[in-house]
Amino acid sequence: MTADSSLRPVRTSPLAGWDPALPPGLSAREVPFRTQLTLRAAPGGAAARAVAEYLGHPLPGPRTAHLDADVEVLWLGPDEWLLVAAPDRATELTTGLRAAIGDAFGSVTDTSAQRTVLALAGDLLPDVLAHGCALDLGPGGAPAGTCHTTLLAQAGVTLVVREAGPRQAWLVVRSSFAGYLAAWLTDACVEYGAG
């Protein structure tokens, strides 16, 4: 028996077909298949400087994200960032970043299949997230560009505030937890008239 080379694997996102019943003050959708590269480098070191030059902007500092670029950069820890770009750019960016780093001490790893992104928006966003997150998401506590790795309903997420308030945010979550988080989000909206 030989394999049929005409059959190609079908790529399915963790929340394929998810169509939540949410209240009018909140919208949610999956942003699947984003290119996601994990960068490890010493802050201010040769590798970090080379990556910043390659990207055309500095790497963000603690609890912040650089969002107004072709390749967005999320701070994850003292020497770790997540670079997020359009789908199907992983090979191009990985090759370019590794060439830029050269022999400097740093690494770039394609982690695109590890996580998915939930895009949330609306006036109810801070109230709904407060049901499962201990962060201060009030008007002064969540300016645009804020980036926290935290727990939301006991699931590890990277919360990226895209519009102050927060009125728009991304939840970057491991694919294996995406279904659980989507179900929690729908349940957390029941008191606001969802469903």
Q: Which of 92, 110, 128 is the last residue of a domain?
A: 110
Per-residue confidence band for 39, with pLDDT thresholds at 50, 70 and 90: very high
Which stretch of 42-56, 79-93, 99-113, 128-142 has the lowest confidence by average pLDDT? Answer: 128-142
Per-residue confidence band for 142, with pLDDT thresholds at 50, 70 and 90: confident
Name the DSSP class of 137. -
What pLDDT score was predicted for residue 11? 82
Does residue 3 surpass a pLDDT of 90? no
What total number of domains does the chain contain?
2
Q: Span 107-120, mean pLDDT?
A: 97
Q: Is-contact 20 122, C-beta < 8 A?
A: no
Give the pTM.
0.92
* Residues 142, 90 share a domain: no
CATH of the domain at 40: 3.30.70.1520
Strand segments (E) across 32-79: 35-41, 65-66, 72-77
Q: What domain range includes position 147? A: 27-32+114-192
* Residues 147, 101 share a domain: no
Q: Which of 61, 81, 110 is the last residue of a domain?
A: 110
* Gyration radius from the chain CA atoms: 18
Does residue 151 surpass a pLDDT of 70? yes
Element (H, E) at 33: none
Q: Is-contact 58 50, C-beta < 8 A?
A: no
